[in-house]
Amino acid sequence: MLLSIALELFGNTVTNTPVLLITVFGFLMVYFYYRHAKKDNNPIFPLNLFKVRTFRVGILGNLATRLGISSIPLLLPMMIQIAYGRSAVTSGWIIAPMALTAMFGKSTVIRILNRFGYRTTLMTNTFVIGILICCLAIPDVHNSIYWYIPIIAVLGFFNSVQFTSMNTISIADLRAYHTSSGNSLISVNQQLAIGFGVAFGLIVFKIFQGDTSLIKNEIHNAFRYTFLVVGALTILSGLVFRRLHPKDGLNMRSEG
């Protein structure tokens, strides 16, 4: 939580000293919990959870991938309001198709995983999501905002496949006595990743916003460059899933 707050405050303060102090304090808390978990016989999050390779990959992939994905529901409506001058209602509804197609993704993810497996699905899906995020940079300020609807709709489908696949592979090889702790840690990791993603997207946007020579005094260009950076990061995050084996998650797929 402290690390998430520190990242969110980065760039919003005149001096970075408070942010650095919060960051150091956050890492100290992580270190103290690590020492506690090594000695305690029944910690909330046992360290031996991370000895399970699929759990490690799922947790790390979840964190890395959401750094890019989580910023889009904030950045896109903000761009519609600031760059296009539309109302908050219009900018909010522009991402509604994402929720609708996400429901369709939930209904098809089992068939996708059964056919292609977790490794191929997650690596390919992450790449597609990164490309779609980059595509948000294509329309300029003179294009209609409705150009974003098909992109965001397709993105919602692939997001749904991504989240379901990451969550299920994370618990695929956990023993029964670790399932509860594993699920709890996955939930905490998701919330942390969402906070990191939103903060990261805003930091990148503010960096480009401050470079007037690059964006040529056009705020819309700052959003476009941000989408490109966030999309590229998402594509790179797919490399995490290379550590999966082709047969990983086979037990989950057969149950589906």
pLDDT 10s digits, 186-196: 888 888 888 88
Residue 59: per-residue pLDDT: 92
> Are 24 and 149 within one domain?
no
> Are 33 and 63 within one domain?
no
**Nearest alpha-carbon partner for 201 in 10, 2, 1, 53:** 10
Q: What is the mean pLDDT of the chain?
A: 85
Higher-pLDDT residue of 25, 123 = 123
For the ranges 54-68, 92-106, 176-190, the lowest mean pLDDT is seen at 176-190
> Are 55 and 139 within one domain?
yes
Sign of the dihedral defined by the CA atoms of residues 199, 203, 204, 209, in that order: positive
> Are 124 and 21 within one domain?
no
Read off the DSSP letter of residue 172.
T
For the ranges 19-28, 103-112, 163-172, 243-252, the lowest mean pLDDT is seen at 19-28
> Are 16 and 82 within one domain?
no
Contact 196, 66 (CB under 8 A): yes
- 8 falls in which pLDDT band (50, 70, 90)? low
> Are 71 and 119 within one domain?
yes
> Are 81 and 15 within one domain?
no
> Are 144 and 84 within one domain?
yes
> Are 169 and 56 within one domain?
yes
Q: Which whole number is the average pLDDT over 18-40?
A: 73
Residue 255: per-residue pLDDT: 47
**Nearest alpha-carbon partner for 65 in 158, 203, 182:** 158
CATH of the domain at 184: 1.20.1250.20
Q: How far apart are CA 66 and CA 110, in angstroms?
A: 21
**Residue 188 C-alpha from the chain's centroid:** 13
Instruction: Give residue 6's domain range.
Output: 1-43
Residue 256: per-residue pLDDT: 41
Residue 75: per-residue pLDDT: 93
> Are 98 and 24 within one domain?
no
**Nearest alpha-carbon partner for 225 in 134, 132, 152:** 134
Q: How far apart are CA 47 and CA 37, in angstroms?
A: 7
pLDDT at 28 over 60: yes
Higher-pLDDT residue of 27, 111 = 111
Sign of the dihedral defined by the CA atoms of residues 39, 40, 41, 45, in that order: negative
Token readout for 154 is: 């397709």
Give the model confidence (pLDDT) of 112-168 as tens digits.
999 999 999 999 999 999 999 999 999 988 888 989 999 999 999 999 999 999 999
Residue 235: per-residue pLDDT: 96
**Nearest alpha-carbon partner for 101 in 157, 161, 163:** 157
Give the model confidence (pLDDT) of 49-87 as tens digits.
888 899 999 999 999 998 889 999 999 999 999 999 999
Residue 12: per-residue pLDDT: 57
> Are 102 and 72 within one domain?
yes
* Number of neighbours of residue 115 by Cβ within 10 angstroms: 10
Residue 68: per-residue pLDDT: 86
> Are 28 and 104 within one domain?
no
Q: Give the chain's domain count.
A: 2
Residue 249: per-residue pLDDT: 85
